[in-house]
């Protein structure tokens, strides 16, 4: 209990000395109004996650190309094995 009180008091002292609003770089001035797309929740979420969505889409395309190249050879391999032909009939 004493440790918790001491930690809380120390935290309060530190909070009075904080340089609130200061950063390593000065803040940039932006537009006064947001675009129409950013005023809706879906548009805002899309803006926040666009890099993730583009990366995910690129990964899916790459995976599709890889599966397409492998499955073409796998089909030829299955046709050449007689035991698999009999099992599939």
Share of the chain above pLDDT 90, in %: 43
| Residue 47: per-residue pLDDT | 93
CA–CA separation, 34 vs 23, rounded Å?
24
pLDDT of 45? 94
Give the residue ranges of the chain where pLDDT is below 50. Answer: none
In the prediction, which pLDDT does 52 show? Answer: 97
What global pTM score does this model have?
Answer: 0.51
> What is the torsion angle, in degrees rounded to the nearest 10, for the CA atoms of residue 60, residue 62, residue 66 and residue 67?
20
- Distance, in Å, from the CA atom of 4 to the CA atom of 1, rounded to the nearest integer, reads 5
């Amino acid at each position: 209990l004493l440790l918790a009180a001491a930690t809380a008091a120390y935290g309060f002292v530190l909070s009075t000395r904080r340089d609130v609003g200061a950063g390593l770089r000065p803040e940039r001035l932006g537009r006064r109004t947001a675009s129409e797309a950013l005023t809706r929740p879906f548009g805002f979420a899309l803006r926040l996650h666009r890099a993730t969505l583009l990366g995910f889409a690129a990964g899916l395309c790459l995976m599709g190309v890889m599966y397409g190249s492998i499955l073409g050879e796998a089909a030829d391999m299955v046709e050449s094995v007689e035991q698999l032909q009999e099992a599939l009939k």
